[in-house]
Structure 1
Amino acid sequence: MADYEPLTRDQLIGAMSKGMKPRDQWRIGAEHEKFGFDRSTLRRPAYDGDNGILAMLTGLQRFGWSPVEEAGHVIALERTNGDGLTSSISLEPGGQFELSGAPLKDVHEICNETGQHLMEVKSVADQLNLGFLGTGFDPMWKREDVPVMPKGRYVIMRAYMPKKGSLGLDMMLRTCTIQSNLDFESEADMVAKFRVSLALQPIATALFANSPFTEGRPNGFLTARANVWTDTDPDRTGMLDFVFQDGFGFERYADYALDVPMYFAKRGETYVDLSGQSFRSFMTDGLDALPGDRATLKDWGDHLTTLFPEVRLKQYLEMRGADGGPWSRICALQALWAGVLYDAPSQAAAWDLVKDWAVEDHERLRRDVTRLGLKAEVAGRTVQDIAVDLVEIAKQGLKNRARFSGGMVDERGYLSELEDIADSGITPAERLLELYHGDWQGDLTRLYRDFAY
């Protein structure tokens, strides 16, 4: 029996509400994933081997990263900066390299942190004959070609995913994303931010669409990554209609999370398979796989990480709708959401864009942008028109924030690429397709040569 009192529902709610922070403590946390590849064969690297993922993790330790082990395997790295803030490098199931950045004050700091990370990765990768690529979906390799990383939770997820959707294994093995994590001041502030960011997530998905290839050829989508999420697991994905209903708050999100079937519980070094079982039962009556044991707050925190809606609530809000891409767009996503959500007038203006959309509009738009990108329509407007407005709102928000770099430049410059995408109506995916059908003459190896970090 674990040395914990049985959890109460109030404790679950409290674990999320502890994230409330006064405005002067709000931070931005950036996360991004990327595909590694062998420069000679373009294949995804295995964990072991002279130029494998473990060799990457070992090589990066010379930059002050410390290893994190699980069952004798190095599966992550951590580093604390001069301000005592910790960032980490972790592995997705197929060896996708993820930087989870420290919570930083502005987009300048985020972009510097990301740039330093990419330079360190390139320094080690060059010695190992590896490269790294930012796209939303693996452009070349089949599921069975992708090596699997030695992390216990992924064994459980890989067995459970096919029971719930046809593309869950693709999500695990063949997708990469960029994410922005933002704070809230109160429950009311969380609700307002959640609603506007969730409604606008498909607009961001269109702006960042960057995965038009599968297994070496065009796949019919502009963002195959976003399409994967439409057939992964309906219990834990989607647009969460209840967020837009009266009375939404921490309690309602906790109820939603309690109704999502579990994947696992971690006990020591071991992940215990609890897939499909009820967290409610784990709290109250226990589960046969863990006799005499009950759920802990650590289990609750782990469970919240296994929910995959387009915006996710933990002790902050996670914006999850963007394909992987180049350094410039990793910075741009942070600028977009900070500009919209960290300036009250801009947040209000953004809500005006979406407040009259019907509930069914949200899910339809989420699906439409996977193929149509900025040409999709909602409530009588094109996504391009809304994107133009959204980027302008974000620019104004960043101007109002007035966070300056050492060169006395504010954060608006990071939006320039998104401004170009919105104004042109042409997504990054469509630019790649133009190259594929034009200069590349159908040779997708050029993507690895021309767009590696």
Structure 2
Amino acid sequence: MARDTTDMIPIEGRQELAAYLEAGCKPPEQFRIGTEHEKFAFTLGRHEPVPYQGERSIRALLDGMRLQLGWEPILEGDNIIGMVDSAHGGAISLEPGGQFELSGAPVETVHETYAELYAHLAQLRQVAAPLGIGFLGLGMSPKWTMAETPVMPKGRYQIMATYMPKVGTRGLDMMFRTCTVQVNLDFASEADMVKKLRVSLALQPVATAIFANSPFTDGRPNGFLSARSEIWRDTDNARAGMLPFAFEDGMGFERYVDYALDVPMYFVKRGDHYIDVAGASFRDLMAGRLPQLPGERATRSDWVNHLSTIFPEVRLKRFLEMRGADAGPWRRLPAFSALWVGVLYDGAALDAAWDLVKGWSAEERQRLRDEVPRLGFKASIAGRSVHEIAREMLALARAGLARRDRPDDNGCDETKHLEAIVPFVEAGRTPAEDLLDSFHGRWNGSVEPVFEEHVY
């Protein structure tokens, strides 16, 4: 998750909220790629979760990374909970159950995303190996129960963990036992934002199928190919989902503001303190009517932090966040960025993608979203299988990346980063199905080998 901000500029009205989002518009030559990924830390010997405190701990990892990188620590009280690269914009942070997240710096090419990821994992292994800690790239914790999963000392997570069970049945699983990869991409104008948002929302379940990688829970198959995606269907539907309003006439920054204002708040941050306002209205905060902060009005940071607590399949900030994929082996992570860069950053590919999805109804899109976690490539929409659509999406991405023509030092363009997902798309077979075959075959009904075979 992003670092919470403390910008105390007061907000006077709704127009400022829309203006904040609109300030993300930039010319295409300034478009960047920001890749984020989460991974589970585990002990190399017994495949146990790693606690926050102790000799072999998350804190020890963070302290070691801070000394190695020289990044600025993010502290909450006496606890280090992350670090930020102030010079380039990258950050390392913790998810609620100790999932270790890299929020990559905004870069120009997928080649740089790949290089950043490779360097991060090399640095991390250098610190983690002496501690006997490894990292696993799956969409859901394959073995540990909720009771066995550690809790990180972050104020916002305590508030969320108390609130989540009131609004859905799977919120704690989402917080503590899932991992994702996402890519953050830019837009040039309000119209460009709307088009990219619509295309990426419609195709997000297709990306979910391509990267589906979470078939195990509590040491056994859970009945899904992407349990992480299924969990989001009943986490908190007031702040998650497929945003059907985005396809309606009049969609723009102000319409998203209206949606965000209707999403209940979690917290207000004042200084280093998180004030629990879970379920309260941001409109009441703007009007100075929040019981917990009587007479106090919203600030810029309140709005930025509130936007970070909204979790649709594609999220709008000053950029668009693709949120549909399970974490996976490290070579597949840049492929997620490459897939969306190819579709969204090339005009012809974006036009073709819109032609592909524009006839789908809100009901069809929702049905696709509901079916993919279980069925993967076998789900369908408008008479076409996800397998067929995924092949078309991959072809659009490949053509878009080729037209971008961003060669690396060896003269290879960004299409090379798609190769990690080509076998799955061509075969119409999710990564999760390979894992299940291993479980029922050579793993002899155990998930333990996943820690050996899929360690970073």
Q: Give TM-score, length-normalised by structure 1.
A: 0.98
Contact 1:94 1:147 in 2 (8 A): yes
Matched, 1:36 2:7: no
CA displacement 1:394-443 (0-9 Å, x = unmatched): 00000000001011110001111222111101100001011111111112
Q: Distance in 2 between matches of 1:299 and 1:66?
A: 23
Matched, 1:287 2:290: yes
- Which amino acid in 2 is paired with 1:65? W
* SS class of match (2:425): helix
Matched, 1:253 2:256: yes
* Alignment-derived partner of residue 25 in structure 2: 20
- Displacement of 1:292: 2.4
Q: Distance in 2 between matches of 1:413 and 1:5?
A: 47
* Alignment-derived partner of residue 70 in structure 2: 64
* Alignment-derived partner of residue 54 in structure 2: 49
- Which amino acid in 1 is paired with 2:203? L
- Which amino acid in 1 is paired with 2:48? R
CA displacement 1:270-325 (0-9 Å, x = unmatched): 00001000000110133111122111111000000000000000000000000001
Percent of matched pairs sharing the same residue: 53
Contact 1:391 1:418 in 2 (8 A): no
* SS class of match (2:421): helix
Q: Which moved more, 1:315-324 or 1:282-291?
A: 282-291
Q: Distance in 2 between matches of 1:386 and 1:6?
A: 44
Q: Distance in 1 between matches of 2:317 and 2:8?
A: 24
- Displacement of 1:65: 2.7
Contact 2:39 2:135 in 1 (8 A): yes
Q: Distance in 1 between matches of 2:338 and 2:56?
A: 35
* SS class of match (2:419): helix
Alignment of 1:333-372 (within 5 A): 333-372=336-375
- Displacement of 1:223: 0.3
Mark the CA change 1:130 to 1:6 in structure 2 (over 3 Å): closer, same or farther: closer
Unaligned runs of 5+ in 2: 1-6
- Which amino acid in 1 is paired with 2:171? G
* Alignment-derived partner of residue 3 in structure 2: none
- Displacement of 1:70: 1.0
- Which amino acid in 1 is paired with 2:273? T
Contact 2:8 2:301 in 1 (8 A): no
Q: Distance in 1 between matches of 2:277 and 2:192?
A: 34
Matched, 1:193 2:199: no
Aligned residues: 449
- Which amino acid in 2 is paired with 1:337? W
- Displacement of 1:5: 4.3
- Which amino acid in 2 is paired with 1:19? G
1:328 aligns with one of 303, 327, 331: 331
Q: Distance in 2 between matches of 1:5 and 1:216?
A: 49
Alignment of 1:155-174 (within 5 A): 155-174=158-177
- Which amino acid in 2 is paired with 1:246? D
Q: Distance in 2 between matches of 1:355 and 1:67?
A: 45
- Displacement of 1:41: 2.1
Matched, 1:134 2:109: no
Runs of 4+ in 1 over 2 A off after TM superposition: 2-7, 63-66
* SS class of match (2:279): coil
* Alignment-derived partner of residue 10 in structure 1: 15
- Displacement of 1:79: 2.0
Contact 1:184 1:190 in 2 (8 A): yes
* Alignment-derived partner of residue 94 in structure 1: 97
- Which amino acid in 2 is paired with 1:44? P
Matched, 1:203 2:206: yes
- Which amino acid in 1 is paired with 2:230? N
2:444 aligns with one of 430, 441, 445: 441
* SS class of match (1:34): strand
CA displacement 1:28-63 (0-9 Å, x = unmatched): 000000000011221111100101000000111213
Mark the CA change 1:4 to 1:182 in structure 2 (over 3 Å): closer, same or farther: closer
- Which amino acid in 2 is paired with 1:75? I
- Which amino acid in 1 is paired with 2:84? E
* SS class of match (2:85): strand
- Displacement of 1:3: 7.0
Mark the CA change 1:344 to 1:72 in structure 2 (over 3 Å): closer, same or farther: same
* SS class of match (2:434): helix
Contact 2:59 2:80 in 1 (8 A): yes
Contact 1:6 1:284 in 2 (8 A): no
Mark the CA change 1:6 to 1:18 in structure 2 (over 3 Å): closer, same or farther: closer
Alignment of 1:216-235 (within 5 A): 216-235=219-238
Matched, 1:267 2:270: yes
* Alignment-derived partner of residue 414 in structure 2: 411
Mark the CA change 1:206 to 1:227 in structure 2 (over 3 Å): closer, same or farther: same
CA displacement 1:221-263 (0-9 Å, x = unmatched): 0000000000000100000100000110000000000000000
* Alignment-derived partner of residue 118 in structure 1: 121
Q: Distance in 2 between matches of 1:449 and 1:65?
A: 31
Mark the CA change 1:3 to 1:168 in structure 2 (over 3 Å): closer, same or farther: closer
- Displacement of 1:64: 2.6
Q: Distance in 1 between matches of 2:121 and 2:445?
A: 28
